Amino acid sequence: MGKETGSGSGRPRGWAPAPRGFVKVNVDARVKEDEGVSLGLNCRGEMGEVLWGVSIAQDHVWEPHVAEAVAVLEGLKEALRKGFMSVVIESDCLQVVEALKKKLTGRSCFMLVIEEILLLCVSVNSVIWSFSSRVNNIVAHTLVHIYPRTTGRMEWSDTLPPSANEAVLFDLSLLK
């Protein structure tokens, strides 16, 4: 299985790029009972540059922590599809990040998604599970609100829709 590590506690305020040799995938989920679930995923390189973004709409209605775990699963799958083998997965759902760090198992829907994520980790060289406040996860949070009108997915390479690009530029301004 790929090496798993936790995130450091002495991080600067604001979004931080991935360590050298890694990409960072930020994920978020939104649950609306009358609309289903939407997921926002974005991947950025060591310098904060956008590598790709995805917005997914599904007609499932899960509990929020299950939807957040599914966002992590989809983010890791997408990183692997793109050939990235050293990945930081960052979520604003502490329950998901802690379950992954502790490698929890169980029979609930949530735990089954956690187990699927952990099984997928054998395909990566290294994965870091990272918790971030929503303020520092704003690009993924923005993408969660840009979703197809029906179930499906929208994908971007190198650049994101204007509202998400504004969030990227704000993140980058904090790095200087």
Task: For residue 81, give both structure tokens.
Answer: 């599809």
Return the minimum-mean-pLDDT range out of 34-38, 43-47, 110-114.
34-38
| 140-154 mean pLDDT | 83
Whose CA is closest to 53, among 132, 153, 127, 133? 153
Spatial separation of the C-alpha atoms in residues 117 and 75, rounded to whole Å? 10
* 3 state SS of 86: strand
Please, are residues 89 and 25 in contact by the beta-carbon 8 Å criterion? yes
Helix axis angle for 64-81 and 94-102, nearest 10°, is: 60
> Is the per-residue pLDDT at 6 higher than 70?
no
> Is the per-residue pLDDT at 8 higher than 60?
no
Residue that wins the pLDDT comparison between 148 and 78: 78
pLDDT 10s digits, 165-174: 999 998 888 8
Spatial separation of the C-alpha atoms in residues 176 and 134, rounded to whole Å? 21
Q: Please give the backbone phi and psi of residue 11, each rounded to the nearest 5 degrees, phi first.
A: -70, 150
Local confidence band at 124 (pLDDT 50, 70, 90 cut-offs): very high
Q: Which fold has domain 19-165?
A: Nucleotidyltransferase; domain 5 (3.30.420)
Q: In residues, how long is the chain?
A: 176
Mean pLDDT of the chain: 89
Spans of all domains in the chain: 19-165
SS3 content of the chain, % helix, strand, coil (to 5): 40, 30, 35
Local confidence band at 34 (pLDDT 50, 70, 90 cut-offs): confident
Return the minimum-mean-pLDDT range out of 38-42, 78-82, 136-140, 172-176.
172-176
> Is the per-residue pLDDT at 175 higher than 70?
yes
> DSSP letter string over 24-74?
EEEEEEEEETTTEEEEEEEEE-TTS-EEEEEEEEES----HHHHHHHHHHH
